Structure 1
Amino acid sequence: MKKIEGKGILSLLFFCICFCGCEKEGLQEKTRQLYIQLSMPESIHVETKGTGDTKPVLGGVEVQNVWIVQFKVNDDDNKSTGSCLKALYVPQSGISKSTDENQDGLIVNLKTGGDTDISKFTADNSLFYVIANGSRAMLTNEGSDDVMYSLTVNELAEITESKLKAKTVLIGTSEKPFVTTSPKLLTSEPFYYTPTNEGVIKVRAQMFRAFAKIKVNITSVSPGLFTLDETSGSASVKIYNLPKNMATYRAGGTNEKTYPATDDVVKGAFNMTVDQITTPNQTVSREFYMAENLRGLGKSATQQGKNQNENGPGSESDKLAGCTYIELTGTYKYDPSHTDGVKVKYTFYLGGNFTNDYNIARDYSYDITFRIAGPNSADVRVEITDGNVAIFDEVDVIKNIIVDF
């Protein structure tokens, strides 16, 4: 499946950042204002906020807090030492909408001043990470959610790059590890800062959503009628094998091809309610969000084979263990007027293609359409889009694939 890149990148612009440090090479320390601008192009999936809405919103995500973390970099090879120089928590009160029409987005205002100013960053060769909506408790139990806080020397000693990347955030609940409204966790790629005599830098850092979006569309094709089974009086779709937590960074900052461990994937089933189909050619849709689930590549060359255990990506006896899939169960009537119908079940394993890819990637949108045409066949179409694309066009769509379940 084709991955669409680059039309309007979700980005966080570190705009005119001024870092204050001690005296360096005879230069006196200067007091300046440090602020970052978070920006993102309008997306077709983002509702326009009313003019009366004063909450800071970035790409449809309300920004409640920001962590800015600085690591020391060796001067010789420009590689991180793993030593954390600074980690600053900024609450929502320090984040506001930009009033400059040329600087669309959000501003994080950090005033720099005297020797005790907690918002100062050291003017050293550095590697920066930015995490939006990670919560204060992600890195400290001190302070309060509505007050700016800088980690102490002892707390900084406990923070390394690997530990930061491995941080996770619960998605949904332990009993239901998915949500139907967008999560809020956004993270930047690491980026370098090299001090200059100017005291001002401009850096663009690409941001990523730490979750995947799945949209399920179900159509009953005329002349027959497919209706979904109901749970507690509501039509529902079953979802299986969902990770418990969102990782702050891809695969927890590792190079592993499989993530998370199967022990951290909950089997289910998890019921997602949808509207019931009542007439032929009717389409019902529902979206949900889940954590990334990287299971790897299997061996199948066909859609039918993707559901078979021997073709899965795993190495154990259950080769499909941990792989996310959707199950539709219901009744198919050859004619809507018929009293009885045929009980049917359709299963589809999610991933990057129809045959052997079982990976659900963070910051990607998966649009899945089931067109139920009979008790033994369905036309399944999938669009997979880079979540950073502002306008979802030119998507590579696989069409007219008739699948026998």
Structure 2
Amino acid sequence: MDKNNERNFRRHRKSCRLHWTVCCLSLLLFSACTTDTNLPDAEQADRLPLSLQMELPKQLTVVVTRAGEGKATTGNPTRNGIEIKKVRVMQFDQTTPDDDTYNIRKTYSKETTGTTTDWFTQTDGGLITINTSTTTFWNRTSKFYIIANAKELHSTSSGDGTDISETAKEAVLPTAYFTFPESDVTGTEEPGILAYGPVAYTEKTGTGSGNAKPVAIFARLKRAYAKVTVNYTAGTGVSITALRVENIPTRIYPFPATGNSPTDAFMNVDLTVNAGQTTYSFFMPENLRGNGTSTTAKEKNQPDNGPTQSGSARNLDYCTCIVLTGTYNYYPNNTPENAANPISVEYRFYPGADMIRNYDIERGKHYTLTLDLKGANSADARVTITDGNVFTIADPDDVTHKDDIVFGE
């Protein structure tokens, strides 16, 4: 090997040794950092603080945002017409089953009168961070559930809801409910009962000198109820005198089981009909009844075409129904003898994802039912004439439903 090649070989070998030394030192430093970072110490290994951020649902009806509804500076956080007054977080330990169910391990609950803002912070975009203070949860494999604005949790003996106590089991949640009074149906403000979960958490293991990292939950809250709007056009000679909604569930289930809704506790609500008003809206709990067998809108009102419920024969027993009653004058512009004696008529409509087969009212959706009341056709099952004459509505009638909630994690 000549002298030039020998010098180059020595320089290359020296450079390789230097790079190897730097790599080893870097690896040792990196290992030291990762050993002491993101791991709770021995005293805090069992406890975890909670970092909770909440996003309120979008509006069910697109309107201009009201003034002062951005970042809350006084009172409670408000966004899209929903005010957050109460928040509850429940942690169910998944590591210690008891009779195939899991016990509640820890809860956080905050209820405010609206006179202070020290329990939350809110960004201009509406994202709400809950100040859970010193409340800590357990570092156990578990599931978290969040409920906002749920009415006071009553014992079952009071008949107002399910008691989700400090000793409750996770298995109670699919059937846990809150009473939904008629005042919430006909109220102008949203009920605001929101829910999110379950959120799965996996236990973290290891010890170190750092603080316990909080369990962070970003809860995209979802409505536990639906909104229905009825628009109608009364043709010549038609007068609507009453509007009733039948088969509204009286219970809200924040975390329902899959499948059809229960078949208990329903109510009928009369809406106030005002002169000149042709649009009416109301809120109601979810009512999942399924699909029927009709092939036209006129057949949807026939019980034999209704959904099969709880294994029984097809019927319309628990399906939500919009009922309009009024009169029709055959001779509104003339003066025959019977012009002063209009016939009485009742129209019945079963809203759903469509106006032919589906009878579901799903949570978080806004259903808009548009009706054109005119014509004469005695073959329409949606119309009942109470004094022997004939009356019908014009086709088509239409229903739309809109889901304005952001789903997903």
- TM-score (norm: length of structure 1): 0.69
Q: Deviation string for 1:67-117 (max 9, x for gaps)?
A: 100011249xxxx9612111221112577563544x6332321212xxxxx
Asked if the contact 1:96/1:106 (under 8 Å) is kept, the reply is: no
Question: Which residues of 2 match residues 149-168 of structure 1 at below 5 A?
Answer: 155-157=165-167, 159-168=168-177
Partner of 2:52: 36
Q: Which has the larger radius of gyration?
A: 2
Asked if the contact 2:248/2:266 (under 8 Å) is kept, the reply is: yes
Q: 1:42 to 1:244 in 2, by over 3 A?
A: closer
**Structure 1: distance between partners of 2:329 and 2:366:** 32
Identity across the alignment (%): 27
Unmatched 5+ stretches in structure 2:
1-38, 158-163, 205-209, 376-390
Over the residues paired in the alignment, what is the CA RMSD in angstroms?
3.4
- How far 1:138 moved relative to its partner? 4.6
User: Going by fraction, where is strand more abundant, 1 or 2?
Assistant: 1
**Structure 2: distance between partners of 1:128 and 1:216:** 38
Question: Which residues of 2 match residues 1-400 of structure 1 at below 5 A?
Answer: 26=42, 28=44, 34-40=50-56, 43=59, 44-45=62-63, 47-50=65-68, 54-74=75-95, 82-92=102-112, 98-101=121-124, 104-112=126-134, 119-138=135-154, 155-157=165-167, 159-173=168-182, 178-181=185-188, 182-196=190-204, 199-221=213-235, 224-229=236-241, 236-250=242-256, 254-255=257-258, 257-261=259-263, 263-266=264-267, 268=268, 270-277=269-276, 284-314=278-308, 315-316=311-312, 319-333=315-329, 336-338=332-334, 339-340=339-340, 341-374=342-375, 375-378=391-394, 379-388=396-405
Counterpart residue type for residue 216 of structure 1: V
Partner of 2:29: none
- TM-score (norm: length of structure 2): 0.69
Q: 1:382 to 1:89 in 2, by over 3 A?
A: same
Unmatched 5+ stretches in structure 1:
1-22, 113-118, 142-150, 230-235, 278-282, 391-405
Asked if the contact 1:94/1:109 (under 8 Å) is kept, the reply is: no
- How far 1:200 moved relative to its partner? 3.9
Secondary structure, in 3 states, of the residue corresponding to 1:162? helix
- How far 1:136 moved relative to its partner? 4.2
- How far 1:348 moved relative to its partner? 0.6
- How far 1:286 moved relative to its partner? 1.1
- How far 1:186 moved relative to its partner? 0.6
Secondary structure, in 3 states, of the residue corresponding to 1:89? strand
Q: 1:330 to 1:309 in 2, by over 3 A?
A: same
Q: 1:342 to 1:135 in 2, by over 3 A?
A: closer
Q: Which stretch shows the higher mean deviation, 325-334 or 337-346?
A: 337-346
User: Going by fraction, where is helix more abundant, 1 or 2?
Assistant: 2
Partner of 1:393: none
Q: Deviation string for 1:213-268 (max 9, x for gaps)?
A: 111111124xx142112xxxxxx312111212111223xxx23x32122x3223x3
Asked if the contact 2:57/2:220 (under 8 Å) is kept, the reply is: no
Partner of 2:18: none
